[in-house]
Structure 1
């Protein structure tokens, strides 16, 4: 099964035909897609009341991909706002309980930063993270090319298999060490994640740019690129029971359009979506 969605639900204005309050956007989003990535969890461990509201705002078959808190993946600058790493992981896991209890948790996404390279201490930290998370399904995404270099790629995939990580496959600009290639391998799991970051090579690593985060994901996939990926997704479906694909190329508002194009190319008709809101005319 191929399940397609977007990263976040607040910024996709083309989905909302009438003015919608921020509080109601997820309900309307769920009329279009059966999954979403909760990126707000990266910036702060969310209170359970938020997750409880979100699971109540979505239909039974809806699935959440919750991004791991930045302190857990080494993005956090300075001290973490917890007494220890163990306390931080415990707080994050507690925040997941509404998703788990309603069986709406697709996975937790651990996206590591470009400076998290392939070395022993980082491999050991990944093992430690997996122990902390227990049986919660977790996806692993790298941003440093060293994990997939010749001589290391097979070891990285084998490590994911042995440790039970879901492979997060990326489509992103190829701009040196701070990017990873497309590696179409399910890592032996019955679930695989694909994230579409766009291919804006000029904006990918310009961190000194005033609006860097907005420029970075400014890209619209063309039909040829989407058709190629439709074939890739079908191939991944042969080796994985669940293929999740989320579009993150939303700096120009293109993610929703590209995701809908992909659904159409694959000939998918999702059942059990939320009721579609009607416009005035």
Structure 2
């Protein structure tokens, strides 16, 4: 199948169902210890995991979790027995609390690492008013409180300040436990490589000065040939990790899979799948966009590229965001096995 044909849909090999994915996972994990942290040499490590552990298609009976893992605590403990890292995406939709951070830290091993996706409002996305904490909703002007969704530009400065401080406070238990990785700043398609776009990134750096930040773009203009080198220098100058992506190509939002490293401390590779037919489709659900199981050849193409990235940063994390059922967990186990070899 050609890339063009693949981008028009997804064939059975890349959406074979949960049973096939489970068989592939068992084939690579049966004799291998779980939660492997790959040694990349000279004190450098690679951790492989997924974007979240609570997706409904993943928690469905018989897909990934054992039958007795029916509570949030049991599921996180089981997930952490299989993988040494996870990206928490729930804070993108609703601001977390310190209690969330305390529970995440308490339910995972000492060497486990969390990356946390920034709240939507913090990266220029719209946010549902109903998802604000009550204290922030009550402080909204009446006209804004009556809206369904708002952007940061709509809000008074003190409300925006409260959003950022609330988010940062929730991270402190992870920081105290030594389990805080990076805050993922995933900017939307309309975030452009201009002065305003750079200022928004610098604002995030100023508001979270003591936390590692990682930046993911969803507009290919950031990596245009005449711009990319300056973008990478900009991120390096401000100690922010560029997020390397594998995603559908040939679309307005398609960022090429350039393996740039802009922080000596951290590199992140996010594997989104290649559902080109769904990536920009209006109304596409999360399951629609990420319902894609990488095949062995595709993973093998990425393994040496990840090793190349890992040679340039103390920590590398590979995050499978093809979170449909057990597709992401299967590919994460397979990639771990490839890198460990």
Q: Same fold (TM over 0.5)?
A: yes
> What SS does structure 2 have at the residue aligned with 1:60?
coil
Partners of 2:263 and 2:54 lie apart in 1 by: 34
Partners of 2:228 and 2:282 lie apart in 1 by: 28
CA 252–20 in structure 1, closer or farther in 2 if over 3 Å, else same: closer
Matching residue within 22, 25, 41 for 2:91? 41
TM-score for the superposition, normalised by structure 2: 0.75
> What SS does structure 1 have at the residue aligned with 2:261?
coil
Deviations 1:218-238 (Å, cap 9, x if unpaired)?
111011110111111111111
Matching residue within 222, 235, 238 for 2:308? 235
Contact between 1:216 and 1:251, CA under 8 Å: does it hold in 2? no
Coordinate RMSD, CA, aligned: 1.5
Deviations 1:225-278 (Å, cap 9, x if unpaired)?
10111111111111111110010102253101111111111226xxxxxxxxxx
For structure 1, list consecutive stretches of 5 or more residues without a partner in the other structure. Answer: 269-281
Partners of 2:287 and 2:250 lie apart in 1 by: 18
User: Is 1:169 matched up with 2:244?
Assistant: yes
For structure 2, list consecutive stretches of 5 or more residues without a partner in the other structure. Answer: 1-44, 127-148
TM-score for the superposition, normalised by structure 1: 0.90
Q: Give the equivalent residue in structure 1 for 2:108.
A: 58
Instruction: Give the superposition deviation at 1:79.
Output: 4.8
Contact between 1:137 and 1:165, CA under 8 Å: does it hold in 2? yes
User: Is 1:118 matched up with 2:193?
Assistant: yes
Partners of 1:152 and 1:202 lie apart in 2 by: 28
Q: Give the equivalent residue in structure 1 for 2:26.
A: none
Q: Name the count of aligned residue pairs.
A: 266
Which structure's relative contact order is higher, taking Cα pairs within 8 Å and 6+ residues apart? 2
Partners of 2:175 and 2:324 lie apart in 1 by: 31
Greater displacement, 94-103 / 188-197: 188-197
- Higher alpha-carbon Rg: 2
Structure in which a larger fraction of residues adopt helix: 2
User: Is 1:102 matched up with 2:174?
Assistant: no
Partners of 1:17 and 1:191 lie apart in 2 by: 33
Partners of 2:189 and 2:71 lie apart in 1 by: 32
Matching residue within 299, 311, 316 for 1:226? 299
